[in-house]
Structure 1
Amino acid sequence: MHQGFHLNFQGYSHMRNMVMAELRNDLAAWRILLAAVRTGSIRETALQADLPAAKVSRIISELERELGFELLDRSTRPMKPTPSCRDLVEGMTPLLAGFDRMWEHFSKKEAMRHVSFAAPIDLCRLYFSALVAKWADAHPGITFDIRPEATADDVRNGLVDVAVINYVPLDATGLVLRRYNSSRTPLLATPEYIRAHGAPSSPEDLAQHTGLLLETVMHPPTQILKKNGAASPILRWKEVFTTHDQMTLRELVLSSLGITVDLYAGHVLPEIRRGRLVPIMPGWRREPWQMSVVTRWEDEARSKALSDFAAYVALEAEATWAPIREETNRVVEEAFRRRLRS
């Protein structure tokens, strides 16, 4: 009957010195009673409430005296609530739960002083760590825990407060998504690799090549490419190297080990400009990276500080990455044109 209600005794050490008067008006006394009903034991209730067993027994006895009827049948082991007590508990349980929710809401509304933040490893190293540090400097008293990337479900389940994700979740229930960038990624390889293995012209040709793929908590290895809205068959490779971060993927492709479909071109703009990397298979791309800053709606409702931080991150990221996106698109298109002319 009471399994979904969690008794919270924190902050009720005053019960040790309580004067026995009008206990029925003290929420702590009702918590003691509910715990006794749930455990069926004075001793177990005392342990949970961090009170002497004799004190717990006196509190329940005083409630019985004030109410004018017996609450617990002490002749049985475990103790059983009387019919009148069961009626009281049925009414009191939702009231206490509602009080706890109200107290939690108002006590946390401006009290968030520690924020956990997650982003893809490469973006954390290159950008977001400095952005978070800048915010922290301007808002003393708020500390941050920067973690490896997390999913939208991790945010929804309360495992992280704020996350940068690179996809649009199928279910955004309970989440606040602030989108800040969308970018497409071409297939890339070095001229050395192409001279040694040839250049594929279609997704089917990739079966003769080595694929350099990304696999993270947010991103399974790419299996399909698209061109003008049409999807390719599931990709087949002669060999596959899989890594878990963009910077390692960058090193693999620059080492002429294969073709990458997942490397964000913004990470290798100088190499594309110089011809150290070349885009191949014009028009074929993986699904765009859809970048968002994600929080829980209920967390933002409780904490203006968290809401302000998430909005700041998204606005700063959008302002930073919009010109990078435009420059990346321009450089990649120029590289395609150079390759067509050669």
Structure 2
Amino acid sequence: MFNRLDYLKIFCTTIRHKTFKDAAIELNVSPQVITRCIKELEAELGEILFVRSTRSIKVSTFGLQFYEKAKATLNLIDEMFAPHVNDNLPVRITAPAVICRLFVMPLIEKISLANPEIHFDVRPSDAISDVVESQIDIGIRVGSQLTSNRFIGRSLAKIRHVIVATPALIAKHGIPETPDDLHRLPTTLLMDKNKNQPWPWFFTDHPSLIPANPAFTTDSGESEFAAVRAGLGFGQLAIFMAAPYIKNGELIPVLQSFEEKSGELDLFLYRPQSGPVPHRTRLVYDAFVEHFSSPDFFFTQY
């Protein structure tokens, strides 16, 4: 028993030939299969599609009309499965706001110039987005390894941090000599949105700590950075954020003897675990992997 799509394919092939045998050769089936299919299609339509003779077949007037509809239907199905059909769908990306601004957007601009057919939907967020529920194609996060089996994640780079303050704040409160001195100084505190708890400050050869009396608390990395630049407190910032301001003298690094690999966190790229990966998403994902995978990508000298 044929389904209706089989009927259309066999009918459209048959109409291009003079005999059912010729159509059967093209479709690699027996002439009896072609004959049975055409008879069943004619019975379902209630119309004659071909006038048969011992030597050839001739399409009927109704058959010609039906052929135009059948051909258009098959063409539409072919277009539906063509790779270019889905190119107007965006690649949805989420990343921490500061990484989105400094790195993701310039990279998207570069990808877009080379692939103008790819559209983007970018959602800056410091929280881990559920890529399945939010229909996110690619996510970037900083911190510990992803444990959910709903994601495929890979570490691409290490993000190191440095403790800095403004010259005015240091002139007022002095320079801390050990990490424990931070408990008596004004500091900034960044909350981890995913765990609803503070991010600890990490040091080499010294236990991590959470400053006891933060002068400024936020769950936004951009806001913490602005607070440190405004002189509200000492902050442990990503080197790639702080380096330009250290170079121009706006910020001064402290506790440098404790700085080696201090606050070193992984940058992860992740995407949904199940299902095929569209070409547009694979292209962007691979570009992100290549862009961020340099071991020194986030290690900016100051």
SS class of match (2:143): coil
Displacement, 1:154? Answer: 1.2
**Are the aligned partners of 2:90 and 2:118 in contact in 1 as well (CA < 8 Å)?**
yes
The alignment status of 1:248 with 2:223, answered yes or no, reads yes
Distance 1:132 1:138, change over 3 A: same
TM-score (norm 2): 0.62
Corresponding letter in the other structure for 1:317: F
**Are the aligned partners of 2:183 and 2:213 in contact in 1 as well (CA < 8 Å)?**
yes
Question: Could you list the runs of 5+ residues in structure 1 that have no partner in the other structure?
Answer: 1-21, 27-105, 332-342
Structure 1 CA distance for aligned equivalents of residues 94 and 108 of structure 2: 11
Distance 1:156 1:167, change over 3 A: farther
Counterparts of 1:160-171 in structure 2 under 5 Å? Answer: 160-171=136-147
Structure 2 CA distance for aligned equivalents of residues 294 and 214 of structure 1: 23
Cα deviations by residue, 1:100-121 (Å, 9 ceiling, x for unpaired): xxxxxx9698746222111111
The match for 2:165 among 189, 198, 205 is 189
Cα deviations by residue, 1:222-270 (Å, 9 ceiling, x for unpaired): 2353323x523x4243333123433432332222221102x21222323
In structure 2, the partner of 1:313 is: 288
Structure 2 CA distance for aligned equivalents of residues 173 and 160 of structure 1: 16
The match for 2:101 among 114, 122, 125 is 125
Counterparts of 1:93-242 in structure 2 under 5 Å? Answer: 111=86, 113-149=89-125, 151-152=127-128, 154-215=130-191, 217-218=193-194, 220-228=197-205, 230-232=206-208, 234-242=209-217
Corresponding letter in the other structure for 1:269: A
Structure 1 CA distance for aligned equivalents of residues 183 and 242 of structure 2: 25
Question: Could you list the runs of 5+ residues in structure 2 that have no partner in the other structure?
Answer: 5-79
The match for 1:292 among 259, 268, 277 is 268
**Number of residue pairs the alignment of both structures matches:** 223
Distance 1:256 1:108, change over 3 A: farther
Structure 2 CA distance for aligned equivalents of residues 163 and 170 of structure 1: 11
Corresponding letter in the other structure for 2:233: G
Distance 1:169 1:123, change over 3 A: same
The match for 1:265 among 239, 246, 249 is 239
Q: Which has the larger radius of gyration?
A: 2
Displacement, 1:286? Answer: 5.2
**Are the aligned partners of 2:157 and 2:267 in contact in 1 as well (CA < 8 Å)?**
yes
Distance 1:109 1:209, change over 3 A: farther
SS class of match (1:276): coil
Distance 1:189 1:179, change over 3 A: same
Structure 2 CA distance for aligned equivalents of residues 157 and 109 of structure 1: 25
Displacement, 1:309? Answer: 1.3
Structure 1 CA distance for aligned equivalents of residues 125 and 110 of structure 2: 20
Distance 1:224 1:128, change over 3 A: closer
* Percent identity of equivalent pairs: 22
Displacement, 1:162? Answer: 0.8
**Are the aligned partners of 2:191 and 2:218 in contact in 1 as well (CA < 8 Å)?**
yes
Distance 1:167 1:159, change over 3 A: farther
Distance 1:193 1:277, change over 3 A: same
**Are the aligned partners of 2:129 and 2:139 in contact in 1 as well (CA < 8 Å)?**
no
Distance 1:146 1:108, change over 3 A: farther
Q: Which has the higher contact order (CA 8 A, sep 6+)?
A: 2
Corresponding letter in the other structure for 1:272: I
**Are the aligned partners of 2:167 and 2:252 in contact in 1 as well (CA < 8 Å)?**
yes
Structure 2 CA distance for aligned equivalents of residues 150 and 224 of structure 1: 18
SS class of match (1:322): coil
Distance 1:159 1:180, change over 3 A: same
Displacement, 1:317? Answer: 2.8
Corresponding letter in the other structure for 1:271: Y
Distance 1:264 1:210, change over 3 A: same
SS class of match (1:269): helix
How much is the aligned-residue C-alpha RMSD, in angstroms? 3.3
**Are the aligned partners of 2:190 and 2:217 in contact in 1 as well (CA < 8 Å)?**
yes
Structure 2 CA distance for aligned equivalents of residues 153 and 248 of structure 1: 20
Q: Which has the higher helix share?
A: 1
TM-score (norm 1): 0.55
